[in-house]
Amino acid sequence: MRYEFLIAERPSGAVLASFPELTSTPGPMGGTALFGEIEDAAHLHGVLGRFQTFGIDVIEMRRLPD
C-alpha cells in the first residue's frame, strides 16, 4: 500500500532521515508531501507515531493507487 502525508512544515534533514520509507517533495500548497510504501496497519501506526514524536501535524493522509 502506498500512502501520502501532507504536513504544513518543512522538516529538517535529520527529521526526514527518521522516515526512510518516505520520499519528500514540496507540498502543493506549501509545506511538504511525504509518500511511500507502507507495509501494513502496524507500519502505518508506527509512521503516524513518529510524526507525533516530532510534533508534526498531518494535515492530510491518503492511500495512493498501487
CB atoms within 10 A of CB 42: 8
How many structural domains does the chain have? 1
**Grid cell locating 40:** 501494513
pLDDT tens readout for residues 2-51? 999 999 999 999 999 999 999 999 998 889 999 999 999 999 999 999 99
Q: Is the pLDDT of residue 1 over 90?
A: yes
* Structural domain span for residue 26: 2-64
Q: How far is CA 15 from CA 11, 41, 65, in A?
A: 6, 22, 26
Tell which residue, 13, 5, 1, 10, has the closest CA to residue 49: 5
Instruction: Tell me the CATH number at 17.
Output: 3.30.70
